[in-house]
Amino acid sequence: MTGGWPDHLFLVGCGNMAGQMLARWIACGLDPARVTVLRPSGRAVADGVTVVADYPAALPRGTTILLGMKPYQIAEVARALAPLCTADTPIMSILAGTTLNELRSRFAAATDIVRAMPNLPVGLGQGVVALFTDDRTSPAARSHIDALIAPLGLAEWMADEMLFNRVTALSGCGPAFLFRFVDALARAGEAIGIPADQAARMALATVQGAANMAAGAQVSPAALADQVASPGGMTREGLNILDADDRLLVLLTDTLAAARDRGEAMARGG
């Protein structure tokens, strides 16, 4: 590891999520010449990044592996990649539903294996990355992963792997749920008479500004909402609708539970 970056980074797959991570790392100073991406199409990724369509005969010394392909490809990838790994090859997996035990069984020679679940804002350095490993992974390797994740946003080490699907439902799937909320807020504005294009711009700016305000506040978002809502005012009337019978809480709990349950079914091979 040099200057906070791996001596070499080998990405298996470079789809939407892995691509966002790589773009952010390069923007923050990772030398593209240190990166190799395996993608069967051979399509270019970024200037200076080596793209290969097949596995190399060996990995460069000091390589860190990022598994970023589709989870169903793990068996095929492991058959080809595991023989190239040694005890000194850190592996980070962003494969949903693929447990640490499964990764260890497929990459038996590797000592340092970490599961990670990022979300799309990592490309802006404003993401959330949940992390999990066991005591076989060395403290040095954990520090290495911490340094690699730091440019991406908030990193949270989970104490229990059983929480992973729940965390994925919240932060991994959360951006899509928030995008839906922003769209609904804009469409609601249109429904009460605001021109559609203006409602869309205003809804997005409102959510962005409110999120930034909440991030810098000394009180909880719930307290902020109450501070904004004067008794008998417009905001309070609207909150009364959202709060009635905990309807917003119930809706979001059902949403996260459905996502969590699907993750657990995937982990069982369903």
pLDDT value at position 146?
95
Q: Check the CA dihedral 57-28-97-44 and report its sign.
A: negative
Give the DSSP letter of residue 223: H
In order along its 270 residues, the chain shows pLDDT tens digits of 555 799 999 999 998 999 999 999 999 999 999 999 999 888 889 999 999 999 999 999 999 999 999 999 999 999 999 999 999 999 999 998 899 999 999 999 999 999 999 999 999 999 999 999 999 999 999 999 999 999 999 999 999 998 988 999 999 999 999 999 999 999 999 999 999 999 999 999 999 999 999 999 999 999 999 999 999 999 999 999 999 999 999 999 999 999 999 988 877 776
Which pTM was predicted?
Answer: 0.87
- The reply to whether 181 falls in a domain is yes
The last residue of one of the domains, among 159, 191, 217, is 159
pLDDT value at position 204?
97
Identify whether residues 34 and 148 lie together within a single domain: yes
Identify whether residues 57 and 153 lie together within a single domain: yes
- The reply to whether 134 falls in a domain is yes
Structure tokens at 186: 């804009």
Structure tokens at 157: 């080490």
Identify whether residues 44 and 144 lie together within a single domain: yes
- Pure H helices in the chain: 16-27, 74-81, 100-106, 139-149, 164-167, 174-191, 196-216, 221-228, 234-243, 247-267
pLDDT value at position 74?
95
pLDDT value at position 42?
84
Q: Tally the domains of the chain.
A: 2
- The reply to whether 168 falls in a domain is no
Identify whether residues 110 and 30 lie together within a single domain: yes
Domain that includes residue 193, residue range: 174-267
Task: Give the CATH number of the domain where residue 262 resides.
Answer: 1.10.3730.10
Identify whether residues 203 and 155 lie together within a single domain: no
- The reply to whether 81 falls in a domain is yes
- The reply to whether 216 falls in a domain is yes
Identify whether residues 258 and 222 lie together within a single domain: yes
The last residue of one of the domains, among 134, 159, 184, is 159
Average pLDDT, whole number, for the chain? 94
pLDDT value at position 3?
54
The last residue of one of the domains, among 159, 190, 225, is 159
Contact 93, 103 (CB under 8 A): yes
Task: Give the CATH number of the domain where residue 126 resides.
Answer: 3.40.50.720
